[in-house]
Every structure is written in structure tokens, then in C-alpha cells.
């Protein structure tokens, strides 16, 4: 696995909360012989060559905010360098520990302040005509970034079908709770189940995707199968994985990361190079696979499309 070697100054500040060895022991990974037991079956089978399927990166001014020097991050990194704490806090833990995670059958409950609540099967979400391939720049609050060819449907489609009421102002998303399958949930790493939220207008923005795949095939489990959120102008932690509930609410939801460290992870999480994380700078980033750091762009390069959502807001306070 080509897990990039990072200088120690960059290693997983998000996992400061976690004692990794405690995790491994309690999760039954040390001693249970799980480590290394499951080879990454998809690795090496690159199914999608940029330029052959889906949206190839184009010149400046593409609808998806790619810059001329943005090329897709290799499959091995997209699927081997992950944050999915339900399966461990190391970047290569999810690929190893999520191999047998069951994603079929899968039901997503849509409820809260809407006219058409219901339990949806995956097939209900995935009208084939609505599925699109889009290459997005993605940036983690840990100051690394990738360029990922996602496949998915606009979240707006799902929201419109549910018909939110006028009183609905936010959308809350919840990850599956299943400590038997998700060893991280047996430990107090975050408040489980993982939750996230968007303001309703952010959720309806045409860039916001419910992703079902990468590189033209179904999402690998470590990337949040079978359904995860992708919001390219926000820090990666907004991209809640393995979603089982989408709920319309009046009040701003508390996300898992806000609950863990409210002074470090705000609700808005718009990529803002001018507002440092309390423990490190957000001015630059390291693109996985590259060595020289890049400047971080406001709204991760999507300002033209999304800055108007925040006009009148103090983006230093609303980090
Ligand atoms: N349920 C759940 N969703 C999650 C996380 C997590 O730990 N649990 N980590 C978040 C963080 S911090 C990041 S950067 C992205 C990483 O997505 P990727 O591994 O597909 O690149 O997932 C986000 N979604
Ligand atoms: Mo992240």
C-alpha cells in the first residue's frame, strides 16, 4: 500500500483524542490476528482512467473548481488513506478493518420536518439517470488534500422528494451505529453514532453530492459505503460516511466533531486559509502524493460557486 510517509509534524492531529494502542486492544485487533488478514481486494484494479470515463480534469473554469494542476489522486491513496474512526484512527486502518462491513441491504430513514418522510432502500435513491461522475478537490482539516473522482447523486434530489417544511432550516446526517461491525464504536473516541449537519441551502447547493462511488465503481467500505456526503468547499470531516438517517430540523445540529472539540471544529467548516486551527495553520496544504505544499484556496477553490451562501456572515467566527 502506498500510504504516503508524512513528516511527524503532519501526522493525524485529529487523533489526539485517541490512544491508538487502547483502540487496537479493545477492538480486538491486537491479539485477534486481524491485522493484515484481509488484503485490499480492489487495490491495483484501477477501473477508471481519467479522461476515459466520467469527467476528466479540465482547464480552469470547470464547473467543479479544478485548477489546471489538479490531477486525480491515485486509487491506492483515495482508498488506502482514510479517516473513518469507526474502523480505527490510523489512516490505513479503515481499509483493513472495514473489509467485511455489510452494506446490503441498506435503508436510509428520511424524517423530521418534511411532508414525505420514509424509509428508502438504496435503489430508491439511485435512479440511474441521476447518477453523475464529478472530480472534486477535497481538503481535510489536517491540512492534506486529494482530488477525488466521485460518483453520486445531487443531495438536492433527495431533499426535494422529501419536501421539507418551511420550518426546516438544517439537515442532520447520521452514520450507522453497529459496534459489532464497527470496532471503533466500542470506544469513546467520538460520540457515536457520528453525526453531521448542513444548513438547508448548503445541502441543496448543486455541488453537494450523496456519493455512492469513486473512480466509476461502488464506494469501497473505507470510503463510506454505501452512501456518504461530499461537500467539496468544506473540510473533509463534513463528509459523513455510511449514512442511515437524513433528518430535517429547525435548530443547528451538533456534529460529532463539534461535540469532541467545539473550539477546534466549527459547524461551518468552510475551508478558510485565513482562520488557523487552534493548533496548526490552515494557510497551506499537502496534496497526497506531492511534496511541495500548496497554498490553500478560500472555500477550497469553490468560492465562485458558494461564497454567496455566506454573505453577511463573519467567517472568522463561523469557522
Ligand atoms: N462516519 C464517519 N464519517 C467520517 C469520518 C469518520 O471518522 N466517521 N471522518 C471524516 C473525515 S475527518 C474525513 S477527512 C473524511 C475522509 O473521507 P475519505 O476517507 O473518503 O477521504 O471522512 C469524514 N467522514
Ligand atoms: Mo478530516
- Delineate the domains of the chain, giving CATH numbers in brackets: 64-310 (3.90.420.10)
The CB of 241 under 6 Å from ligand 1? The reply is yes
Q: Which atom of ligand 1 is nearest to the CA of 223?
A: 20
- To test the pocket of ligand 1, the residue of 10, 189, 224 to mutate (highest count of ligand atoms within 8 Å of its CB) is 224
Taking the CA of 288 as reference, the closest ligand is: 1
Strands (E), 52-191: 107-112, 118-121, 132-139, 144-154, 170-175
Strands (E), 58-164: 107-112, 118-121, 132-139, 144-154
The model's confidence at residue 241, banded by pLDDT at 50, 70 and 90, is very high
Q: Are 95 and 79 in contact (CB under 8 A)?
A: yes
Provide the pLDDT for residue 196.
98
Q: What would the grid cell of residue 137 be?
A: 478537490
The model's confidence at residue 123, banded by pLDDT at 50, 70 and 90, is confident
Provide the pLDDT for residue 63.
54
Average of per-residue pLDDT across 96-102: 98
> Each residue of 267-278: pLDDT tens digit?
999 999 999 999
- Return mean pLDDT, the chain: 84
Provide the pLDDT for residue 66.
83
Q: What residues contact residue 139 under an 8 Å CB cut-off, 6+ apart?
A: 145, 235, 236, 271, 285, 296, 300
Q: Which atom of ligand 1 is nearest to the CA of 82?
A: 19
Q: Which residue has the higher pLDDT, 266 or 12?
A: 266
The CB of 240 under 6 Å from ligand 1? The reply is yes
> Each residue of 166-182: pLDDT tens digit?
999 999 999 999 999 99
> Each residue of 131-158: pLDDT tens digit?
999 999 999 999 999 999 999 999 999 9
Q: Which residue has the higher pLDDT, 191 or 14?
A: 191
The CA distance from 36 to 313, in Å, is 48
Amino acid at each position: 500500500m502506498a500510504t504516503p510517509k508524512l513528516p511527524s509534524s503532519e501526522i493525524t492531529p485529529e487523533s489526539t483524542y485517541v490512544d491508538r494502542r487502547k483502540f487496537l486492544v479493545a477492538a480486538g485487533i491486537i491479539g485477534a490476528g486481524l491485522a493484515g488478514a484481509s488484503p485490499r481486494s480492489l487495490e491495483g484494479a484501477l477501473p477508471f482512467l481519467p479522461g476515459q470515463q466520467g469527467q476528466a480534469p479540465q482547464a480552469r473554469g470547470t464547473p467543479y473548481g479544478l485548477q489546471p494542476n489538479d490531477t486525480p489522486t491515485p486509487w491506492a491513496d483515495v482508498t488506502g488513506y482514510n479517516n473513518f474512526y469507526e474502523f480505527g484512527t490510523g489512516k490505513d486502518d479503515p481499509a483493513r478493518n472495514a473489509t467485511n462491513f455489510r452494506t446490503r441491504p441498506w435503508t436510509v430513514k428520511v424524517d423530521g420536518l418534511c411532508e414525505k418522510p420514509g424509509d428508502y432502500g438504496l435503489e430508491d435513491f439511485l435512479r440511474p439517470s441521476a447518477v453523475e461522475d464529478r472530480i472534486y478537490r477535497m481538503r481535510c482539516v489536517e491540512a492534506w488534500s486529494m482530488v477525488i473522482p466521485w460518483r453520486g447523486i445531487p443531495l438536492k434530489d433527495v431533499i426535494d422528494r422529501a419536501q421539507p417544511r418551511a420550518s426546516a432550516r438544517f439537515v442532520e446526517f447520521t452514520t450507522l451505529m453497529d459496534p459489532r461491525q464497527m470496532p471503533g464504536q466500542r470506544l469513546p473516541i467520538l460520540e457515536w453514532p457520528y453525526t453531521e449537519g448542513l444548513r438547508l441551502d448548503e445541502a441543496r447547493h448543486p455541488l453537494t453530492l450523496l456519493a455512492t462511488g469513486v473512480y466509476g465503481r461502488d464506494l469501497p467500505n473505507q470510503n463510506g459505503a454505501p452512501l456518504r456526503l461530499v461537500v467539496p468547499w468544506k473540510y473533509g470531516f463534513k463528509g459523513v460516511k455510511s449514512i442511515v438517517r437524513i433528518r430535517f430540523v429547525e435548530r443547528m445540529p451538533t456534529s460529532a466533531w463539534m461535540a469532541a472539540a467545539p473550539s477546534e471544529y466549527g459547524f461551518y467548516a468552510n475551508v478558510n486559509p485565513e482562520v488557523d486551527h487552534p493548533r496548526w495553520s490552515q494557510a497551506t496544504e499537502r496534496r497526497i502524493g506531492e511534496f511541495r505544499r500548496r497554498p490553500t484556496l478560500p472555500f477550497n477553490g469553490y468560492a465562485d460557486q458558494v461564497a454567496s451562501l455566506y454573505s453577511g456572515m463573519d467567517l472568522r467566527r463561523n469557522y
